[in-house]
Amino acid sequence: MAPFESGARDFGSAGAAACRPAGLAPPPYADRVSNRPLFIDLAFYAVAALFAGATALWTTLEPHSQWGAIAFGGYLPAAICAAVLLTQPGAVWRGRALVAAGTAVAVTAMPLAFMAVDRANGVTGRAQEEVLVVESSGARLLDTGSPYLHADAIAALPEPLLGYNPYQPGMAVFGLPAAAFGEHWWTDARIWFLLAAAACAAAAVNLLRRRPGGLGAGKGPLLRAFQATFVFPVCALTFATGGDDMPVVALIVLALAYAHRDRPLAAGLAVGAAAALKLFAWPAAVVIGFLTLHNYGSQASPRLRRGGLRRYLGGFALPVAVTMIPVLAVDARGFFDNVIAFGLGHGVVTSPAQSPLPGFLIARHVPGGELIAPALLGVAALVIARLLWTRPPASAAAAALWCAAGLSTAFLLMPSTRFGYLLYPVVLLGWWLPLRDAIAGSAHGTLFAGVPQEAVDELEHETGPGPSLAVEWWR
């Protein structure tokens, strides 16, 4: 939404001029009303409804079909509401926010709750395998001190695939409620995935949002980040059917928000928690480390910057060590069999992550592909590391782009991969908008210097003019 959009709708140019400090010329778009945000919303919800409907009709996965049938009834009304808002005069941001919140409930929370209740009542086909794996790993962690089985024990199971736990030891924490209290809808691991991701997103919003007398991200970019995390079809589908990736990417976002606020210890703790859940978070930890080394305290001396890096690394190491060291001490072989060997395609069964992406196609169809695909992944990692060293990210927003690019490269080249990993770049790009807008807030602070906060809120300028045309267009 363009700055002054709803202000122009409510007060017109005279109202904006009355609130502007004397001597400051109006920005070139102060008298222009843009419906572009609503058109983007309308297109987004309409395409999402088509995706949900197609998923309900044609998928062969029962949980996905259930999600599609319910989510179609969330996205279609959202598209209709966006179309209605296009016809309404006056402020529209609150209407857009209400539509986004209602859609998130309809396409994420409702399908998840429906399937969790059905599953607790004994109905099959209401969760993907990763939910069963996480919950069983939580039970094993309580019983044996390790969330893993050895390869020979897995081979003896009736369904060996469900015996593999390809996650870091910390992921078993989400299975502890079911292990401790039995199978109920509220002990379903997906409920706790959603709660953890929502808590991280709320904390990131609190770190980035604009405050009276301060600088930060506007409401428009934050709304886009919310839509990317809780409404975008791939993310909503993941929350409802599996969910294990969502707290990982949400913790990465939280780490970026802390890095934006120059809080390296907190950033390290957040991304360390993500790394304690999944190896997929480790590349993001490297990117944020480069950001901390080169940009902690814009005017800080090299010694202080190294101190910031030490705090970041200490924060990162704490959750990783707390979750990994006890497990490695009692069951290092189990960790290797599940996380390393199975992830590289050397388990007693084949990984179900077989989306036809380059890494999988090379490993499956090229002679020697089982070695070539990991080698390409390693080369890509070295190239990215070299680029990070020579051109480190200058801000948390730039780091978000680096993370999105690096994780996209990883899921494209991994031998075992799936299209669902698209959620990582989607969420990171969604949060790039408020991260970038928070940097541009200095222009907003200059433009509205001396203006009462109440008047600024009424004008509903969703960001300052800022230097970023990309943020301006997508808000």
Angle of the 423-447 helix axis to the 245-260 helix axis, nearest 10: 30
Query: How distant is the alpha carbon of residue 470 from its chain centre?
Result: 20
Q: Output the pTM of the full model.
A: 0.87
What single string gives the DSSP state of each residue in 150-170?
Answer: -HHHHHTSSSGGGG---S-GG
**Per-residue confidence at 213, pLDDT binned at 50, 70, 90?**
low
Q: Which amino acid is at 291?
A: L
Which DSSP string corresponds to 229-269? HHTSHHHHHHHHHT-THHHHHHHHHHHHHHHHTT-HHHHHH
pLDDT digits (tens, 9 = 90+) for 432-467: 999 998 887 644 444 455 555 444 444 444 434 344
pLDDT category at 88 given cuts 50, 70, 90 is: confident
Name the nearest CA neighbour of 402 among 302, 301, 292. 292
Q: For all residues of the chain together, what is the average pLDDT?
A: 84
Binned at pLDDT 50, 70 and 90, residue 420 comes out as confident
pLDDT of residue 467: 41
Instruction: Give the span between the Cα atoms of 270 and 325, in whole angstroms.
Output: 18
The token pair that represents 156 in the structure block: 């003896």
Q: How far apart are CA 5 and CA 185, in angstroms?
A: 43
| Least confident interval from 5-14, 181-190, 401-410 | 5-14
pLDDT score recorded for residue 471: 59
Q: Which of 13, 42, 14, 44 is nearest to 29 (CA)?
A: 13
Q: Is 215 helix (H, G, I), strand (E, B) or coil?
A: coil
**Helix 423-447 and helix 396-413, axial crossing angle in degrees, nearest 10:** 170
Element spanning 334, H or E? helix 302-335
Region of 213 (left: φ > 0; alpha: ψ -120 to 50; beta: rest) is left
Name which of 285-299, 390-404, 405-419 the model is least confident about. 285-299
Residue range 149-163: average pLDDT?
91
Where are the domains positioned within the chain? 5-20+31-474
- Listed ranges 8-12, 25-29, 317-321, 351-355; the one with the highest mean pLDDT: 317-321
Question: Token pair of 280, please?
Answer: 């997929």
CA 71, chain centre distance (Å): 20
> How confident is the model at residue 2, as a pLDDT?
37
| For residue 48, pLDDT beyond 70 | yes
55: pLDDT strictly greater than 50: yes
Residue 10 pLDDT exceeds 60: no
- How buried is residue 3: exposed, middle or buried, by Cβ count under 10 Å (0-12/13-18/19+)? buried
**CA separation for the pair 11, 28 (Å, rounded):** 17
